[in-house]
Amino acid sequence: MSQQQSPEPTRLVSPTKTTDHSTAGEPDPFEHLRGTAGEEQVSLNKAERKFIRRRSWKLLVRTSEGVRLKLLLTALAVILAQACQAATPLIVSLAIDWGLPRVIDGETQGLWIPGGLYVTCAVTAGIMLFLYTRMTAEASQQMLFTLRDEVFRKTQELSLDFHEDYTSGKVISRQTSDLESLRELLDGGVNSLVQGLMFMFFTTVTIWIMDWRSGLVLLAAAVPIAFLGRWYQKNSEVAYRRTRISSARMIVHFVESMTGIRAVQAFRRESARTRQYKKLAKVYRDDMVRSIGLFGVLQPGLMLVGNLSVTAVLLWGGFRVLDGDLGVGALVGVVLATKRVFQPLDMIAMFYNSLQSATAALEKVSGLLEERPKVREAKHPAHLAEARGELEFRDAEFRYNQDGPLVLKKLDLHIPAGQTVAVVGRTGAGKTTLAKLLARFYDVSSGTVTLDGVDLRQLATADHHRHVAMVTQEAFLFSGTIRDNIALGRPTATDEEIVAAAKAVGVHEFITALPEGYDTDVNKRGGRLSAGQRQLVSFARAFLADPAVLILDEATSSLDLPSEALVQEGLERLLGNRTALIIAHRLSTVAIADRVLVVDARHIVEDGSPEELIAAGGYFSKLHSAWSATMGN
């Protein structure tokens, strides 16, 4: 058994810090709500609510950065439009009281001045309406664009551990239904609020001018309205938070059923999945009905207060008319105005409704955006222009979760540049974990992993990506042509280089036999290609990327036996002089390796050339015999 000695790494660094929210040893009281952690928590205490609210509003304020002037102009346009509209009755009264007598006396200005004012107001209101409709749409769409972009960027940046936990369904729900709630608020809600408030303000002023006692009735009506508003706010906040959670669960189930449609159909799970979906959709429906039901109490409640206020103004005013304290005209005026003053409450309640829904959505989106990738580039990264491909694990330990079990324990492993290493072992032994650490999908929990003596945590991300490539069993192909998919390995590659890469791994003949050759569209998830063909295309992609270190994670598992000889040749050419770590499930793949590692129970239990290990009579020797038997050797 040969265990190679390694040179000293150039620099050892402490593990990347993953949480940044506690200050100098003080525990973070909101740790459980940071990022997406408290996403499923429905009821929050006062401090928690404040924390979440602040995070949401901070995001909204940050998102509005480029459009604040536009939002201000929009508000001004709304005020101007409302003022113009409110002024029209005044102009009519001016026309009657001031203009009409002058017209009768033959003075034309009596007609032109109020007429001109009226037209000016009407035109201004129209222009303002046009401007604010347009500006609101521009501002809200710009804010949504920023949020969409941020959500997408964030999900691309977050490390694999996040995605393994969070699932794509939840990300989709944040990106679609949550942002849709925000759109509803930004598009229509703010306008209705400003319009409604302005209208109420102007009308209240007129009531106070006409009869201050009726103004007192309005003041009294504000008390039940405030209580009703507070009741609605408290209940709807919880109700809408619940709808966001149930909506996300429903979308997660939908996305999983669609992306796993092959497994669903293969195991005849269609009706079971449908039943589960129905259950989740019912929960969402009920949550929505509950939150809309709350609005159903708020709206008539406000109407009731409005009507009672009109009755109070009418009764009190009526008695005062009888006593001779109030003129009939003034009574008619205040009654009409009181009736009108409550009209926008409907609109404001709607705004409040969409505000609550959008706030719940914003809570979730801001949580997602608060997440920080655990695997990050160092502040002052080390650069490695050229790499030889020497790898080393030193005292490396790894666990997926902070309090989870150790998956790799005290691992010391040196792989010299250019060596082809096959990794074998039982299912769940930790082979893929080894590969993921080299590809830096995760960082080691303790110890180091180095490339050419540079700690991977210190290595510039771009250099790491250039020097280390991983081909997985999945061999994912993006929508587009085969050419585009191979070019992903090196986007600047010429057509000749792409063809050369395909020839090198032995996939050129197959591609040219396709109807449109390299321009054939692979469709979603490479629908037109078999799993083996997809793997060959991903080999070509890796060949083009020309990394110093190549990791193949069961990447040959879908290749059929008859074509194995061909593939073997392609594989050997792909490996070339690179350092390669191959997680192998095939004898033929292991045969081309210089060295075999057997991983078991968190350790490397066998390490040597294939011949050495066969002779040693351990796990690999037994595996080899079993493989040979199945191949008829």
Contact residues toward ligand ATP (CB under 6 A) are 164, 400, 404, 407, 425, 427-433
Closest approach of Cβ 607 to ligand ATP, in Å?
16
Residue type, 483: R
In the complex, what is the shortest distance from the CB of residue 38 to ligand ATP, in angstroms, rounded to a whole number?
A: 21
CA-CA distance, 383 to 462, in Å (whole number)?
9
The letter for the amino acid at 87 is A
Query: Of the two residues 55 and 602, which places its CB atom closer to ligand ATP in the complex?
Result: 602
CB 437 → ligand ATP: shortest distance, Å? 10
Judged by beta carbon, residue 413 or residue 501, the one nearer ligand ATP is 413
Q: Which two tokens stand for residue 541?
A: 């992609």
Residue 173 tokens read as 């729900």
Nearer to ligand ATP, 218 or 598 (CB): 598
In whole angstroms, the minimum distance from the beta carbon of 450 to ligand ATP comes to 20
Is 306 or 430 the residue whose CB approaches ligand ATP more closely?
A: 430
How far is it, in rounded angstroms, from Cα 78 to Cα 84? 10
Q: How far is it, in rounded angstroms, from Cα 303 to Cα 307?
A: 6
Residues 255-289 as b or e (16 or more Cβ within 10 Å = b): bbbeeeeeebeeeeeeeebeeeeeebbebbeebbe
Least spacing, CB of residue 489 vs ligand ATP, in Å: 24
Nearer to ligand ATP, 161 or 452 (CB): 161
CB 253 within 8 A of CB 276: yes
Beta strands at 420-425 and 595-600: parallel, antiparallel or unpaired: parallel
Residue among 70 and 163 whose Cβ is closer to ligand ATP: 163
Cβ distance to ligand ATP smaller for residue 126 or 428: 428
Name the β-bridge partners of 581: 421, 551
Using an 8 Å Cβ cutoff, are 606 and 424 in contact? no
| Closer to ligand ATP by Cβ: residue 332 or 531 | 531
| Smallest distance from ligand ATP to CB 493, Å | 31
CB of 409 to ligand ATP, least distance (A): 12
> Is residue 25 classed exposed, middle or buried when 0-12, 13-18 and 19+ CB atoms within 10 A define those classes?
exposed
CB of 441 to ligand ATP, least distance (A): 9
Pairing mode of beta strands 446-451, 454-455: antiparallel
Q: Return the exposure string of 329-354: e unless at least 16 CB atoms fall within 10 Å of the residue's CB, then b.
A: ebbebbbebbbbbbebbebbbbbbbb
Give the residue with the Cβ less far from ligand ATP, 425 or 526. Answer: 425
Residue 413 DSSP label? E
Measured from the CB of residue 421, what is the shortest distance to ligand ATP in angstroms?
15
The answer to whether 273 and 266 have CB atoms below 8 angstroms apart is: no
